[in-house]
Structure 1
Amino acid sequence: MKTHWIALTALTLLAACGGGGGGSSPDPTPLPPSSQLRLNLSPAVDGSVALVATVDGVPSRDLSFQWSQVSGPAVNIANPRSPMAAFEAPQATLYEFQLTITDTQGNVIQAPVDISTTESVAATRIRGDQVVPSGGRVSMRLGRSGDRNQPLQNISWQQESGPGISDMDNSDPELLTFTAPVVTQDTLIRISASASDNGQNVGDNAYVLVTTEPSPVSGALFDSPLTRVIAWNSDSPWADALGRCVYSTQLASSAPCSIETLPLLGQSHPNPTVDQVMERVVVSHPWMGDAFKSFLELRDTHGDFRRLLGAVTAVVISSDVRPSFYWVATGAIYLDPSDLWQSPWQMATINEDPDFRSGFGSDLSFLLPWRYVKGNSYASVYYPPYLEISRSLGALEPDLASLLYHELAHANDFFPSTTWDSINTSTLLQAFYQRSEQNALISDHLTRDLPLQSSEMKALADVQFRGSKATTLQKSYQPDDITAFFSGDRANDDYSYSTSREDLAMLFEEAMMMHRYEIRRDVAVTDLPEQVTASNITVDWGQRGRIGETAILPRLDLVLTELMPSLNANELISGLPSPTQMRSGESWAQNLTLEDATSAPRVQAMPSLLSPKEGRHRHLGKAPDWKVENN
């Protein structure tokens, strides 16, 4: 390994210039023998720091970065493996770092980087210095630290430098979203915000490094800009395959990676350890992998998730994944990190770009809300992104566990453990087509033997979850109509009608949440007023723990027996309580307390200042049969 030591005697600004779209990616550019390292230091007056490193003539996509703190009060670098080291300084003092840059041939530059701050972090400032791909989506939030619940006033956002942004949107005044300009070289953009906070004028600057990326190949599986990801464990024997095979615009649908290149985890390790799982984890920010590992080590007490993860090739956790999904074309699950953050600085790295699909079904006259409850309390709550509050693993567990049970149900529906030794195709996609043509998926068995009956609910699912236009008849349906369609059928959720794959996943998710956590799921039919709150929607019909409905139990038995044979399906089903009926005519909020609900201690109480986490359309999006999504 060749090493070049660079002593920085002068700091120069990274040139901010844009341009038209780029072509195909050339071969990786190595470090020249006499490389010049350049740093851009953001003004560090208020303690919010962004250090950007570049090497003349070498795009950052061809380099690996590692920032390490040498001295000063400990800071949390948002992504120490990117060209930008963004952090918030807790004290006004000197901070020293070591920067290591490596090219694809193993050449290395190492350099010390020092910066002094004159103030600690301001209470009001932009959270979200970040690196994004050319043409990618960006979100930046004007944060309020601590318990500052008072909204800021007179907020104004401005672009101060860099190629022009054409679609800046601050419909939510404290949140700015936009599309990064298309650039031909790595380019720095500076954004400013000003506001009034209790009569005091406040303001801040933030930085976005827009990076050049290779154009998508013809027929790319991912044909839009992607946030850069890396193998969480850089020493993983699968690191190179992960980089090419699960989250790249260079992966063509006509040539997915072979099973030999990246097999299912269970094909390599039928009973994987946490460390073996982590060899398959890909992240945009290292903290995401750290959090996922902690969850598996400390909260997967029954080993459910490790066993279920045998049916995937990889776990991708990236700031731009929204909603979460499973894709058989790669064999991976893709997780939205909003269910993993524990600290405010981690939350600030997650893209908040609104999901346009949240408006599906808005012209209907009813709503089917849902929630998970523990006793007569919410099992999880919504944390407003403007409040900078930490949370424990226990606090995030209900949301993350339900998400994992759902996504891993998809993976194990497609490739249950009984198939791992008999897959004889070169790719997983070919194996899926082979099984699908034979109607061999577990969800195929469910639909064949115990199908759902309501044609009305199936048609409405196209409107609610695929964005189809509602017919005049569908617009005329009132809550009592939906109650008649849904309550007498044998689905546990309206999302079950979207596809047979989601039907299976919803059954498994709800059953496992009750079995492992004693958390029950509420589902109801209500009206749909213009402004929806828990207190102003009225329940026409609803149940707590619908998974225990007698008509549903044979369907659940089929799913559990085939999907996770290590479970005792009979024991699980016999332990499910009968559903509790909601009170018609009362609000959704009033129906939180039901007479026969019992409390249990495992999930800790949530801070009282936070509002409950409601579910309207948890599962969103149109996808081919071999790609299944949920939010």
Structure 2
Amino acid sequence: MKRSLCCILISAMGLTACGGSSDSSTESPGDITPPPVVPDGLVRCDTQFQLDQTTTTSGLVFLTEPNYKSGQPAAIIATLQGKHVTEYQFNWTQTAGSKLILKSSKSPVLAFTAHDTGSYKFEVTAVGRQSSFTQSIEINVEAGSDVQVSTRVDHQVTEGNSVSFRVDTPETNPLSQISWCIAGGPALNVDISAPEKALFTAPNVDEDTLSTLRVSAVINGQSVTDDVHLLITKEGSITSQYFDERVAKTFAYNLSSPYKDDLQPCVYSNQLQQSCTISRLPLIGQLGGINKQAILDRLLVSHHWMGENFEYFLENLDPNSDFATLLQSVTAIVISYDVRPSFYWVVTGAIYLDPNDLWLLAEERDTINEAPDYRSSFGNDLNFLMPWRYVKDNNYTSYVVPRSVRADRTAEEMMPDLASLLYHELAHANDFFPRSVHTSLSGPTLLDDYFRRSDAKQLVSDQLTASYPLNSQEMANLAEVSFKGATANGTQKAYNAADISSFFSPDRASDYYAYSTTREDAAMLFEEALMSHRYSIQRDVAVTDKPENPTGSTINVDWGQRGRIGDASLESRAAFVINQMMPELNGAALVNGLPEPIAMKQGLSWSENLMLSPSTQSQLNRTSASATFTPEIRLSGDRHVKPVD
């Protein structure tokens, strides 16, 4: 089940909306259509590339590059004679040479960049169900050129999964005349409409197959090339009605977890036929109180660093145990390079996280797939926009450095986007299965319990709507257009920003997206309240006009608020949701303690309305590289897929 398919399937079952987060985008709001691909396939290079092959006595085969250069991305690939590497779990360790940053140590493809010359030695262990192998390989790194092009990053991919490669585009020694060709392996249809990156779907293969792409460019008048390698692995047939598009290879972060053999087949498998039983994979909270190790036992990842960073987040950035508490209502946490955007899914009871919200090092970001998160053109006929942003001390808190800039980021820079994402997605899980019902769940699957609770209108979001309904039918009808693809009628097309302000501002929704479903209504209230309460990070929401080229400087605010969740008209609704999901917080006291909303200045642009409140001029999340980039405008619902009822 790729991200685009998730909610189609959920919609057919009448389940909840999925939510998510994506990397900061450089796209303009509105239409985002799939980019063109080379219709007849990417051309083959004049000269094909051949890796050196070293066969060991165990049958493990090393594929190495003829030459390794300092400062140049490189790889060593391990395969197995007569076997498929997908049947084995790999683990690489460096045993000699200057210390390297290794972020694919659990993959058959070990990618790295050596900055020092000399000898390097590695040991790899491949463990299968009935056999295991341990072998060593040594390489020598020679001095690299001062002028070179770097393409990232060599990796393994399952057949049918998305692939992305990117060329470094530094401001110094800029590249020109970038071109791509196939230097080895099968024919490929590749999107190179943005020449600095190549996007494609790995073809189906009869056996594990190596594919090599070559990048050519000109730097300071000098022609340079680089080869990047992809190991396409043969996989079992897709038999799942849920995950019916190829998913990445994942593994349990804690290899000693009692659930290590249950996670992948129950929550992220192309062979998943039906929901696993509660007895096989219960909610984390059904087994006792808050236990962070129990959470890590349910963590499924495509790269080990994803688990390490998630563990760091739980240990160091969750001082109040909010997320450890909320995670009691999921069966598992999946973090994989092909998840985009993030979502919660009741069929598996798991939360799926986009690692764009977790990376800290540039080498970690390199491993994340860049396949576009295609957003629909719903609402294009409407004549207004509703942007949002999170701010603290009149500064954006979201990380905005584009992928083209290879920079590390701090945990402080990572935290706001990840925290808001988790509050939202885990609100969905706690809407369906709050801790108060864990002991009464009877199964045999969570899906069975969901249907029983939904039919009885026992979900938190159902109770919210029954006690504190939203009132604007106009906004509800517009949400059908903006978020579900309904066709706008003549009246709706004629609405201007002032009309929308008159519908939205007196009602009790925290955000336009709250009108998409009752589930999103509850999740938005919870997310915004907790971000303000825990971090003093407030959400801006506004109604603006819709010029031909919407940017922060060109859209003008008709109405807007900073910290709308503190509005008196929303207090009872927010307090109810908080009390149902985290009663220990005392929802009424929490909401009463939130700052009063600050009105935006009508007629000024969205950007001009950033400086609204008294500021200590702190630079939360605006340090290092992020301080030099201007955020794109974000529109209501853009972190989420099409909602469902």
TM-score normalized by structure 2? 0.87
Contact residue 552 and residue 632 of structure 2 kept, 8 A: no
| Structure 1 counterpart of 2:229, one-letter code | Y
| Counterpart for residue 438 of structure 1 | 456
| Structure 1 counterpart of 2:157, one-letter code | V
Q: Distance in 2 between the 1:151 and 1:543 partners? A: 42
| Structure 1 counterpart of 2:640, one-letter code | L
| Counterpart for residue 97 of structure 2 | 72
Shift of 1:356: 1.4
| Counterpart for residue 257 of structure 1 | 276
Return the match for 1:186 from 169, 194, 208: 208
Return the match for 2:287 from 268, 273, 276: 268
In the TM superposition, what whole-angstrom CA distance separates every residue of 1:475-506 from its partner, at most 9, and x where no partner exists? 33322222122112111111111111111010
Contact residue 378 and residue 613 of structure 1 kept, 8 A: no
Pairing 1:603–2:620 present: yes
Pairing 1:133–2:158 present: yes
| Counterpart for residue 565 of structure 1 | 583
| Structure 2 counterpart of 1:244, one-letter code | P
**Count of matched residue pairs:** 590
In the TM superposition, what whole-angstrom CA distance separates every residue of 1:81-136 from its partner, at most 9, and x where no partner exists? 1111111112122210001111112x221111111222359764111212111111
| Counterpart for residue 68 of structure 2 | 44
Pairing 1:216–2:238 present: yes
**Greater relative contact order: 1 or 2 (C-alpha under 8 angstroms, separation 6 or more)?**
2
| Counterpart for residue 112 of structure 1 | 136
Distance 1:399-1:48 versus aligned 2 partners, 3 A rule: same
Distance 1:310-1:128 versus aligned 2 partners, 3 A rule: same
| Counterpart for residue 376 of structure 1 | 394
Contact residue 148 and residue 224 of structure 2 kept, 8 A: no
Mapping 1:175-574, distance limit 5 Å: 175-219=197-241, 221-252=242-273, 255-272=274-291, 274-357=292-375, 359-574=377-592
| Counterpart for residue 6 of structure 1 | none
Distance 1:114-1:425 versus aligned 2 partners, 3 A rule: same
Contact residue 523 and residue 542 of structure 1 kept, 8 A: yes
Shift of 1:247: 0.5
Shift of 1:392: 1.0
Pairing 1:620–2:640 present: yes
Contact residue 572 and residue 588 of structure 2 kept, 8 A: no
Shift of 1:171: 2.6
Question: Relative to structure 2, which stretch is displaced further, 348-357 or 112-121?
Answer: 112-121
Distance 1:181-1:407 versus aligned 2 partners, 3 A rule: same
| Counterpart for residue 154 of structure 1 | 177
Give the match's secondary structure for 2:74.
strand
Return the match for 1:53 from 63, 78, 86: 78
| Counterpart for residue 84 of structure 1 | 109
Contact residue 245 and residue 251 of structure 1 kept, 8 A: yes
Distance 1:597-1:429 versus aligned 2 partners, 3 A rule: farther
Distance 1:158-1:460 versus aligned 2 partners, 3 A rule: farther
Give the match's secondary structure for 1:144.
coil
Pairing 1:100–2:152 present: no
Q: Distance in 1 between the 2:378 and 2:209 partners? A: 36
Unaligned runs of 5+ in 2: 1-50
Q: Distance in 1 between the 2:168 and 2:453 partners? A: 50
Contact residue 326 and residue 426 of structure 2 kept, 8 A: yes
Distance 1:203-1:474 versus aligned 2 partners, 3 A rule: farther
Distance 1:604-1:40 versus aligned 2 partners, 3 A rule: same
Question: Relative to structure 2, which stretch is displaced further, 284-293 or 570-579?
Answer: 570-579
Give the match's secondary structure for 2:375.
helix
| Counterpart for residue 40 of structure 2 | none
Shift of 1:343: 0.6
Shift of 1:149: 7.4
Shift of 1:269: 2.8
In the TM superposition, what whole-angstrom CA distance separates every residue of 1:311-346 from its partner, at most 9, and x where no partner exists? 011110000101100011111100000011111110
Shift of 1:552: 1.1
Distance 1:518-1:336 versus aligned 2 partners, 3 A rule: same
Distance 1:113-1:359 versus aligned 2 partners, 3 A rule: farther
Shift of 1:623: 5.4
Contact residue 240 and residue 272 of structure 2 kept, 8 A: no
| Structure 2 counterpart of 1:606, one-letter code | T
Contact residue 560 and residue 599 of structure 2 kept, 8 A: yes
Contact residue 386 and residue 541 of structure 2 kept, 8 A: yes
Q: Distance in 2 between the 1:225 and 1:403 partners? A: 25
| Counterpart for residue 6 of structure 2 | none
Shift of 1:471: 3.7
| Structure 2 counterpart of 1:301, one-letter code | P
Contact residue 495 and residue 619 of structure 1 kept, 8 A: no
Unaligned runs of 5+ in 1: 1-10, 16-32, 626-631
Contact residue 399 and residue 621 of structure 2 kept, 8 A: no
Give the match's secondary structure for 2:327.
helix
Q: Distance in 2 between the 1:513 and 1:205 partners? A: 44
Shift of 1:41: 1.3
Shift of 1:12: 4.9
Contact residue 126 and residue 132 of structure 2 kept, 8 A: yes
| Structure 2 counterpart of 1:622, one-letter code | K
In angstroms, what is the RMSD of aligned CA positions? 2.2
Give the match's secondary structure for 2:569.
coil
Contact residue 155 and residue 194 of structure 1 kept, 8 A: yes
| Counterpart for residue 23 of structure 1 | none
Contact residue 420 and residue 531 of structure 2 kept, 8 A: yes
Q: Distance in 2 between the 1:472 and 1:129 partners? A: 52
Q: Distance in 1 between the 2:222 and 2:487 partners? A: 48
Contact residue 65 and residue 81 of structure 1 kept, 8 A: yes
Q: Distance in 1 between the 2:617 and 2:456 partners? A: 44
In the TM superposition, what whole-angstrom CA distance separates every residue of 1:35-74 from its partner, at most 9, and x where no partner exists? 4222211352353111111111111111111111101111
Question: Relative to structure 2, which stretch is displaced further, 297-306 or 84-93?
Answer: 84-93
